[in-house]
Amino acid sequence: MSLTDLTLRAIQQRLQARELTSVDLTRAFLDRIAAVDGRINAFLTVTGEQALADAALADRRLDEGRGDALTGIPLALKDVFVTEGVRTTCASRILDNFIPPYDGTAVARLKAQGAVLLGKLNMDEFAMGSSNENSGYSPVRNPWNPDYVPGGSSGGSAACVAARMAAATLGTDTGGSIRQPASHCGVVGLKPTYGRVSRYGVVAYASSLDQVGPIARDVEDCAMLLQAVAGHDPADATSVTLPVPDYCAALKDGVKGLKIGLPREYFIEGLDPEVQKALEQAIAALGDAGAEFVQVSLPHTDYAVACYYIISTAEASSNLARYDGVRFGRRVDRGQGLIDMFMQSRAAGFGPEVKRRIMLGTYALSSGYYDAYYLKAQKVRTLIRQDFLDAFDRADVLLTPVAPTPAFKLGEKTADPLQMYLSDIFTIPANLAGTCAMSVPCGVSAEGLPIGLQLIGRPFDEATLLRAGYAFQQTGDWHQRPAPL
């Protein structure tokens, strides 16, 4: 087994026992990136020299017995996280030359533990997309088959883990951007509850929905990475002061007696038969492991996509106002006067999907339409959240598909944005409800593409979510199958 195939916790054990140095390990990952990323395009920036220097420091810290959980472990970050001195583009041409002066909180917490950062990962521009085809720097390709998309928007993060180019990565999830690419790339991704992880220093897309979370090889690795970044941060007013439990401690308690809800509205006509079959097998396996199943209903599911694409675009239109060539963003210095300069800079810097969403969002917020669209969407959002709270009266976690189909081919859906939006139907509701959810591998299609299942947990009950995910993982070996790169 090569070093890059080790899980986070196997790496941790070997580093701490000093059977392995962080420098050797970091070199192995950098070699792997050099060997395979030409075919995947997951990295926008590789910080090789800095990584090796940090690895050497981590080795010293480990030698002196001062290691933390992630000391010396090579990780990589979606390019939505601002990183001091390291170019941060959000995969947008408008931020092509942006070098942030500080680290965001999640990044600072990883660095404080002595994690080694290998670089910044490709994504859909400003995290808007489900396929990575909206990147301003060419799409990421799926390590299971380069003709297929890796999912989005954290497609670089998921593909990076699947192709063994980092031990684990951080992504963000506004409407499924951690879970859907994790599912399409055969890895595990967890979107924590809104408020669980600080978004300070994360480029904002839709601020009432955005959340930071781990993408990793398996459930235990996800728990370890979540542990490192979770918890209150005074710099993010939406982060909560609730204590952070020990996520690894309860992981192995099993699912005996756990009530798993199956939402009727998620098992519908139009679900790909192979996804359906993989889910049925997963349900049977969890039943054998002692879980109890109950039917639940989330009656407002049909409205979730429309509701999300009003709220998220409205918030995006406001958040993206700062890219004007003055406060942030590349300036186009032609034109006549200030307004013209703003317009030309934005016209040149943003890609087509970002422009579409700014226009949709600006329209939804404009006077005369605000009540009809934005206010209505907020009311629907409350109903969707209530659906989940009612379901959690009867079930401890919910089990659903992540996406209606396995990964699709590059170019297959680009002509029809609505088709692309509709494929987010199963992931969006958890963001609107603000609760936690994760994607765990549960099958591979006849074409050789991974399939994931989604578990949705009660707000702030990531511990039970992880426990259910771990129990499912123990029933098979889907998470251990490597992408045939």
Shortest Å, Cβ 223 to ligand GLN: 21
Catalytic site includes residue 239: no
Q: What phi, psi does 451 have (nearest 5°)?
A: -125, 140
Stretch binding ligand GLN (CB under 6 A), from 34-42, 171-179, 259-267, 269-277: 171-179
Compute the Cα dihedral for 212, 361, 435, 175 and give only its sign.
negative
Cα–Cα distance between 94 and 330 in angstroms, integer? Answer: 5
Q: Which of 92, 130, 153, 198 is catalytic?
A: 153
Residue 290 region, left (φ>0) first, then alpha (ψ -120 to 50), else beta?
left
Q: Which of 177, 183, 345, 423 is catalytic?
A: 177
Stretch binding ligand GLN (CB under 6 A), from 103-111, 126-134, 181-189, 231-239: 126-134
Q: Which is nearer to ligand GLN, 12 or 174 (CB)?
A: 174
Q: Which is nearer to ligand GLN, 71 or 130 (CB)?
A: 130
Cα–Cα distance between 364 and 85 in angstroms, integer? Answer: 37
Contacting residue, 59, 125, 173, 387, with ligand GLN by CB under 6 A: 173
Stretch binding ligand GLN (CB under 6 A), from 36-44, 100-108, 175-183, 465-473: 175-183
Q: Which is nearer to ligand GLN, 122 or 153 (CB)?
A: 153
Q: Which is nearer to ligand GLN, 130 or 198 (CB)?
A: 130
Contacting residue, 153, 169, 319, 345, with ligand GLN by CB under 6 A: 153
At position 381, the amino acid (one-letter code) is R
Contacting residue, 104, 119, 176, 361, with ligand GLN by CB under 6 A: 176
Stretch binding ligand GLN (CB under 6 A), from 22-30, 128-136, 138-146, 294-302: 128-136
Q: Does 312 bind ligand GLN (CB under 6 A)?
A: yes
> CB atoms < 10 A from the CB of 363, how many?
15
Contacting residue, 113, 122, 174, 183, with ligand GLN by CB under 6 A: 174
Q: Considering CB under 6 A, how many residues would be counted as binding ligand GLN?
A: 13
> CB atoms < 10 A from the CB of 107, how many?
26
Catalytic site includes residue 366: no
Catalytic site includes residue 78: yes
Cα–Cα distance between 291 and 293 in angstroms, integer? Answer: 7
Q: Does 129 bind ligand GLN (CB under 6 A)?
A: yes
Cα–Cα distance between 439 and 453 in angstroms, integer? Answer: 5
Contacting residue, 7, 83, 89, 130, with ligand GLN by CB under 6 A: 130
Contacting residue, 177, 227, 439, 473, with ligand GLN by CB under 6 A: 177
Binders of ligand GLN among residues 408 to 427 (CB under 6 A) are 424
Shortest Å, Cβ 431 to ligand GLN: 7
Contacts of 371 (CB under 8 A, 6+ apart): none
Q: Which is nearer to ligand GLN, 130 or 464 (CB)?
A: 130
Q: Does 4 bind ligand GLN (CB under 6 A)?
A: no
Nearest Cα residue to 135 out of 94, 187, 180, 77: 94
Stretch binding ligand GLN (CB under 6 A), from 170-178, 222-230, 238-246, 299-307: 170-178
Shortest Å, Cβ 46 to ligand GLN: 23
Shortest Å, Cβ 246 to ligand GLN: 28
Binders of ligand GLN among residues 424 to 443 (CB under 6 A) are 424
Task: Determine the straight-line distance between the first and last CA of the chain, rounded to whole angstroms.
Answer: 15
Exposure of 235 in the CB half-sphere (CA atoms within 13 A) = 11
Q: Which of 78, 120, 191, 413 is catalytic?
A: 78
Shortest Å, Cβ 375 to ligand GLN: 21
Q: Which is nearer to ligand GLN, 175 or 263 (CB)?
A: 175
Compute the Cα dihedral for 261, 264, 265, 268 and give only its sign.
positive
Q: Does 127 bind ligand GLN (CB under 6 A)?
A: yes
Cα–Cα distance between 278 and 284 in angstroms, integer? Answer: 10
Q: Which is nearer to ligand GLN, 67 or 129 (CB)?
A: 129
Cα–Cα distances in angstroms (integers) from residue 409 to residues 133, 178, 428, in the given order? 11, 19, 22
Q: Which is nearer to ligand GLN, 209 or 341 (CB)?
A: 209
Binders of ligand GLN among residues 447 to 476 (CB under 6 A) are none
Binders of ligand GLN among residues 187 to 206 (CB under 6 A) are 205
**Residues found in the chain:** 485
Q: Which is nearer to ligand GLN, 8 or 229 (CB)?
A: 229
Burial class (CB in 10 A: 0-12, 13-18, 19+), 476: middle
Residues at the interface with ligand GLN (CB under 6 A)? 127-130, 153, 173-177, 205, 312, 424
Residues with a catalytic annotation lie at: 78, 153, 177
